[in-house]
Structure 1
Amino acid sequence: MPTSSHFPPSPSGEYRCLENLNLYTAEACQGLATQAAAGRQLRLLMFTEQSVQVQLCEDDYIAWLAVRDAGKLTPAVQRYQTERLERGEIVERIEGAIAFTQAAMTQPHCYLWGGTVAPDYDCSGLIQAAFASVGVWLPRDSYQQAAFTDPLEDPDLQRGDLIFFQEPGKLRVSHVAIYLGEGQYLHSSGVDLGRNGIGIDPYHPDGSDIGARYYPLRHSNGRISRSYCPGDGWEIDSRPK
């Protein structure tokens, strides 16, 4: 069974990803939970025969790393330091986040449950990666993003706000899109309801088959008023999505 002795000592208590890593929902390393892009930092929590439970530093997300990938980590010299951003600073970065999503849409890709690394994303993975690209961290999953953002009504939607949906059979928010303005939103959608990838749809029941399928599922809207900062007292729900 692997133990902490299998990893080089870290002066910070954290490790940095040397390359993009897959992280899993269970210790048997089955079911992609999320991905950690090269350069992200994580903590080691618990060891089993096949895997190591880890917590990503930027969003506090907990998942499992396969032991075979342990060599893709290196000790982090310094602990992760978050950049604290408020609404005014975030507004200045929204266009950059939207540009990221639009660029991702132009690349060959498909929908990947758990995907947060190009080219294949799930819905919340795309949103998190887009805002992370401009230095704004959000929680990982759509229901976490819904809880973290400030609620607002449809008439108050502005470019860069998030739209949340709850799909049939789900007990909580299960899908997220970014509002582009002028009644349109961009999202990464799966095969059953969407297009198996990233696209733009109208935020009303007419205009596209996909938009018509998602419109009745709308749950709430959220405005990003701050970046996620570990330890700031916002208690993240990290149950498997």
Structure 2
Amino acid sequence: MKLSDFPPSPTDEYHCQIDLNLYNSPSCQGLATQAAQGRPLRILEQQGLAYHVQLCEDDYLAWLPVTEGKNLKPSENKYCAPIWSREAIAEKIPEIIAFTHHAMAQPHHYLWGGTIAPHYDCSGLIQAAFAASGIWLPRDSYQQEAFSQKVPWDNLLPGDLIFFQETTRVTHVALYLGDNQYIHSSGIEKGRNGIGIDSLSPDSGPVGSKYYPYLLCAGRIMTSWPG
């Protein structure tokens, strides 16, 4: 479907009628993220066999194959970002943590770009856990680090985010559970190919000990995107 053939939208937004994979280039080869059924997006342009789209809740840019255009429907109501206070977010932390435990209990594996159950990458799990409670975070771990309010290690609270940096920017994120433990989705190279719990300790086991040298900082979510 050509962009010019799309049914007009009164809001200039469309929503996904099914779960969709979005990619990091117009060739649609590498998975960048996923858009669950119902998520709103904007179509920015068409390049070859892909649409350049922007997800409304987190402003994430990605590419959608034109063959998936049939699965988009005009949105009658324009997306409006929710407003959250830190106090309201704090009340949601138990259910956010419960989401990650439930995800861990399901048969799953690590999926780069995964944000839809049962398969997640690290930041996809964190985003999905908060989004399930109506709180939107940026998509990638380095964006989540920039969005959060930094907290000292001796002031960590359950629901805070733990960030790791292996290269020039943050490369991994986890959710702090309390009692020096965190839950995260990790890949095959350093992780367990899925979701598990580790400790903030250099000798916390085969997975946690690999991540510990890259421990960078902790952050607290104070509001919902865009803040």
TM over 0.5, shorter chain = yes
Correspondence for 2:132: 133
Q: How does 1:18-167 map to 2 (within 5 A)?
A: 18-167=17-166
Letter of the 1:20 partner, please give it: D
Matched, 1:221 2:218: yes
* SS in structure 2 of the partner of residue 93 of structure 1: helix
Using the alignment, how far apart are the partners of 2:144 and 2:85 within structure 1? 16
Correspondence for 1:237: none
Matched, 1:173 2:170: yes
Using the alignment, how far apart are the partners of 2:106 and 2:144 within structure 1? 25
Correspondence for 1:184: 181
Using the alignment, how far apart are the partners of 2:2 and 2:147 within structure 1? 35
8 Å Cα contact 2:2-2:66 kept in structure 1: no
Using the alignment, how far apart are the partners of 2:40 and 2:26 within structure 1? 20
Aligned length in residues: 227
8 Å Cα contact 2:122-2:174 kept in structure 1: yes
Using the alignment, how far apart are the partners of 1:64 and 1:159 within structure 2? 35
Using the alignment, how far apart are the partners of 1:39 and 1:178 within structure 2? 26
Measured against aligned partners, the alpha-carbon deviations of 1:27-65 in whole angstroms (never above 9, x if no partner) come to: 011100000011100000010121000000000000000
Gapped regions of structure 2 (runs ≥ 5): none
Q: CA RMSD in A?
A: 0.9
Task: Compute the displacement of 1:5 (Å).
Answer: 1.9
Using the alignment, how far apart are the partners of 2:187 and 2:5 within structure 1? 38
Correspondence for 2:3: 4
Task: Compute the displacement of 1:82 (Å).
Answer: 1.4
TM-score normalised over the length of structure 1:
0.92
Gapped regions of structure 1 (runs ≥ 5): 233-241
Using the alignment, how far apart are the partners of 2:173 and 2:18 within structure 1? 27
Matched, 1:202 2:194: no
Measured against aligned partners, the alpha-carbon deviations of 1:105-136 in whole angstroms (never above 9, x if no partner) come to: 00000000000000100000000000000010
Task: Compute the displacement of 1:207 (Å).
Answer: 2.8
Using the alignment, how far apart are the partners of 2:89 and 2:144 within structure 1? 15
Letter of the 1:175 partner, please give it: H
Using the alignment, how far apart are the partners of 1:178 and 1:140 within structure 2? 15
Letter of the 1:15 partner, please give it: Y
Letter of the 2:39 partner, please give it: R
Identity of aligned residues (%): 56
* SS in structure 2 of the partner of residue 5 of structure 1: helix
Using the alignment, how far apart are the partners of 2:62 and 2:5 within structure 1? 19
**Runs of 4+ with deviation above 4 angstroms:** none
Using the alignment, how far apart are the partners of 2:5 and 2:182 within structure 1? 46
Using the alignment, how far apart are the partners of 1:207 and 1:226 within structure 2? 32
* SS in structure 1 of the partner of residue 175 of structure 2: strand
Letter of the 1:145 partner, please give it: Q
Measured against aligned partners, the alpha-carbon deviations of 1:152-206 in whole angstroms (never above 9, x if no partner) come to: 1111111000000012xx2200100000000100000000010000000011112
8 Å Cα contact 2:158-2:178 kept in structure 1: yes
TM-score normalised over the length of structure 2:
0.98
Using the alignment, how far apart are the partners of 1:119 and 1:71 within structure 2? 25
Using the alignment, how far apart are the partners of 2:108 and 2:22 within structure 1? 20
* SS in structure 1 of the partner of residue 80 of structure 2: coil
Letter of the 2:72 partner, please give it: L
Letter of the 1:57 partner, please give it: C
